[in-house]
Amino acid sequence: MLAINRDEREKALKVSVDVPVVEMIAGIEARVVRNPQCIFTDYLKESISDAYHRLISPAIEREIRSALTEKADGHAIQVFARNLKALLMTSPLKGKTILGIDTTGKFLTGETLYPHQPQKQWNEAKSVLKRMIERLEVDVIAIGNGTASRETEKLAAELIGELDRQVHYAIFNEAGASVYSASPVAKKEFPELEASLRGNISIARRLLDPLSDLVKIDPKSIGVGLYQHDVDQTKLAETLDHVVESCVNAVGVDLNTASSSLLRYVAGVNSRIADGIVESRETLGKFKKRDDLKKVKGLGEHTFRQCAGFLRIPESDCCFDATAVHPESYPVAERLLKMLDLDPEKMNDPAASGGESNPSRLCQKPF
């Protein structure tokens, strides 16, 4: 239905509802004409025919088209929302240094290389990448799935075979990276970098923390929906905003990797505070506990109470900092663990595995 509407707007085709006109008019006459012998019957029938062709038929056709379009809109928006949620909820790659960025998503360094046609600087590209990987202790190379993706994969595979350290590569969807690279958000984050390098950072960050990076891009540019430009734009925007909010509420936000754009979706956090959190993280290093948030300029006690439950620190020494338990409820949670004969110190112990007695299953891993 959405495709038909678009083609009709572009005058590629003409659409009409095909109905048996003679039968429709006869049906109306059967209801309206009560006295066939009346001298005004012919005029009445002419009026019925005129009313049908000029008023009734177009009105019914508009109603039918409108109802079908509304149904198609709803279906398309829901498909878009489901696909977007699945993408945002992709598991992040925690604790790994991805080529170009560190474990918090901070940009480290970048180079523009030309290993493919027409320059074919294959060996030169490998030498530069090898030096960067060894200097930055890189764990993973992120490769976009766009132009020359397979050729770049071949380069990465060949390079990894020559390295002394264990390095992996991953091919990731780069849809929308070019949109981000030219956006005001990207220019504010990296004013000194060229657009292509900003796009590369976006691809790497999607591997590190998909939710945090993808919220910076207009969902219609991510490429997970059909006919997104043809549906009700207001309803689409409201639905997609709800999807992002629900993802944030469902899994929380990793305080040490979340972007400013993502932090703004957290209750109580506005754009100024979100920027302050990121600035504090980049200046002072990772947050070690939730209470460190109080050191962020402009983040007072009231804001802390609102946002703390949604901000997670998986690496914290306090096991509850990695969960949805609010700091105000830590004493209650500790008493509950004691009643269940569970050791809080082992909540985030990676050695603990399986079984109903494993308390680490209570810790939901945030994005």
Contact 167, 134 (CB under 8 A): no
pLDDT in tens, 229-268: 888 888 888 888 888 888 887 878 888 888 888 888 888 8
Residue of 250, 219, 236, 232 lying closest to 78 (CA atoms):
236
Q: Which of 208, 237, 261 is the last residue of a domain?
A: 208
In a domain, 114, yes or no: yes
Tell me which of 17-31, 65-79, 312-326, 339-353 is least confident: 339-353
As a whole number of angstroms, the distance between CA 206 and CA 174 comes to: 9
My answer on whether 204 and 260 are in the same domain is no
Chain centroid, CA 140 distance in Å: 22
My answer on whether 343 and 257 are in the same domain is yes
In a domain, 229, yes or no: no
As a whole number of angstroms, the distance between CA 35 and CA 169 comes to: 84
One DSSP character per residue, 277-320 reads HHHHHHHH-S--SGGGGGGSTT--HHHHHHHGGGEE-TT-SSGG
In a domain, 228, yes or no: no
In a domain, 330, yes or no: yes
My answer on whether 199 and 132 are in the same domain is yes
Contact 252, 324 (CB under 8 A): yes
Q: Which of 25, 45, 76 is the last residue of a domain?
A: 76
In a domain, 221, yes or no: no
pLDDT in tens, 99-142: 999 887 889 998 889 999 899 999 999 999 999 999 999 999 99
My answer on whether 68 and 116 are in the same domain is no
Total domains present in the chain? 3
Bridge partner list, 143:
171
- Any idea what the CATH number is for the domain that residue 299 is in? 1.10.150.310
- Any idea what the CATH number is for the domain that residue 167 is in? 3.30.420.140
Asked if residue 327 has a cis previous peptide bond (ω within 30° of 0), the answer is no
In a domain, 312, yes or no: yes
In a domain, 239, yes or no: no
Contact 352, 359 (CB under 8 A): yes
pLDDT at 24: 94
Range 298-335 burial, b when 16+ CB lie within 10 A, else e = ebeeebbeebbbbbbbbbbebbbbbbbbbbeebeebee
My answer on whether 156 and 130 are in the same domain is yes
In a domain, 87, yes or no: no
pLDDT at 106: 87
Domain residues for the domain of 174 are 93-208
My answer on whether 39 and 144 are in the same domain is no
Contact 332, 309 (CB under 8 A): no
Q: Which of 26, 49, 76 is the last residue of a domain?
A: 76
